[in-house]
Amino acid sequence: MHLLKLSVSLLVSLAVSCVQAARVPQYQQLPPLREQAAIQDAWTVERVSNVPQLLRKYEVDAWLMSQKEYAEDTVFWSLKSATQFSARRRTVDLFLANTVEDASFSYNWIDNTPEVWSELRSVLEAHNVSSIAVNADTDVAFSSGLHVGEFGKIVQELGPEWEKKLVVEPMVGVEFIGTMVPGRLEWYRRLQETAWAIITEAFSEAVIEPGITTTDDVRWWMRDKIQQLNYTTWFMPDVSILNAEDPFGDHPMTTDREVIQYGDLLHCDFGVTALGLNTDTQHMAYVLYPGESEDDIPEGYIGGLKQVNRLQDIVKSNMKVGTTGNDILKTSLKQMRNEGFDGKIYCHPIGDWGHSAGTLIGMFNLQEGVEVLGDLPLLDNTYYSVELYAEYFVAERNQTMNFYQEEDVYWNDEIKDWDWVWGRQEKFHLVRPPVDRVFRVQGP
Ligand SMILES: *[C@@H]1O[C@H](CO)[C@@H](O)[C@H](O)[C@H]1NC(C)=O
Ligand SMILES: *[C@@H]1O[C@H](CO)[C@@H](O)[C@H](O)[C@H]1NC(C)=O
Ligand SMILES: *[C@@H]1O[C@H](CO)[C@@H](O)[C@H](O)[C@H]1NC(C)=O
DSSP readout, 15-36? HHHHHHHHT-----PPPPHHHH
What b-and-e string marks burial along 86-102, b requiring 16 or more CB atoms within 10 Å of the CB? ebeebbbbbbbbeeeee
Q: Please, what's the largest Cα pairwise distance for the chain? A: 93
Name the closest-CA residue to atom 12, ligand 2: 229
pLDDT of residue 440: 46
If one looks up domain 181-442 in CATH, what number appears? 3.90.230.10
pLDDT digits (tens, 9 = 90+) for 159-190: 999 999 999 999 999 999 999 999 999 999 99
For 46-58, what is the mean pLDDT? Answer: 97
Is 51-177's fold the same as 181-442's? no
pLDDT of residue 13: 44
Query: Which is the closest atom of ligand 1 to the Cα of 128?
Result: 1
pLDDT of residue 249: 47
In percent, how much of the chain has pLDDT > 70?
A: 90
Inter-residue contact 409 to 386 (CB < 8 Å): yes
For 47-72, what is the mean pLDDT? Answer: 97
Q: Is ligand 1 within 6 A of the CB of residue 81?
A: no
Distance between Cα 333 and ligand 3 center (Å): 28
pLDDT digits (tens, 9 = 90+) for 373-397: 999 999 999 999 999 999 999 999 9
Q: Is ligand 2 within 6 A of the CB of residue 29?
A: yes
Distance between Cα 400 and ligand 3 center (Å): 11
Specify the CATH class of 51-177 in words: alpha beta
Mutate to test the pocket of ligand 2, among 27, 201, 226, 230 (most ligand atoms within 8 A of CB): 230
Q: Is ligand 1 within 6 A of the CB of residue 130?
A: yes
For 68-83, what is the mean pLDDT? Answer: 97
Query: Which is the closest atom of ligand 1 to the Cα of 130?
Result: 5
Q: What is the mean pLDDT of the chain?
A: 91
Does residue 420 carry a pLDDT above 80? yes
What is the C-alpha separation between 314 and 317, in angstroms, rounded? 5
pLDDT of residue 255: 66
Cβ of 387: how many Cβ atoms within 10 Å?
26
Q: How sure is the predictor about 256, in pLDDT bands with cuts at 50, 70 and 90?
A: low
For residue 289, the 8-state DSSP code is P
Q: What's the helix, strand, coil split of the chain in %, to 5?
A: 40, 20, 40
Q: Is ligand 2 within 6 A of the CB of residue 230?
A: yes
Distance between Cα 275 and ligand 2 center (Å): 15
Identify the nearest ligand to the CA of 129 by its number.
1
Phi, psi of 56 (to 5 degrees): -65, -40
Does residue 443 carry a pLDDT above 80? no
Helices 215-228 & 185-202 angle (0-180, nearest 10): 140
Mutate to test the pocket of ligand 1, among 127, 128, 130, 161 (most ligand atoms within 8 A of CB): 128
Burial tier of 359 (Cβ tally within 10 Å: 0-12, 13-18, 19+): buried
In DSSP terms, which residues pair with 386 in a beta bridge?
407
pLDDT of residue 257: 76
Q: Is ligand 1 within 6 A of the CB of residue 100?
A: no
What is the C-alpha separation between 361 and 346, in angstroms, rounded? 6
pLDDT digits (tens, 9 = 90+) for 280-307: 999 999 999 999 999 999 999 999 999 9
Cβ of 281: how many Cβ atoms within 10 Å?
24
Per-domain residue ranges for the chain? Answer: 51-177, 181-442
For the entire predicted model, the pTM comes to 0.90
Phi, psi of 251 (to 5 degrees): -130, 160
Q: Is ligand 1 within 6 A of the CB of residue 126?
A: no
Q: How sure is the predictor about 253, in pLDDT bands with cuts at 50, 70 and 90?
A: low
Q: How sure is the predictor about 18, in pLDDT bands with cuts at 50, 70 and 90?
A: very low
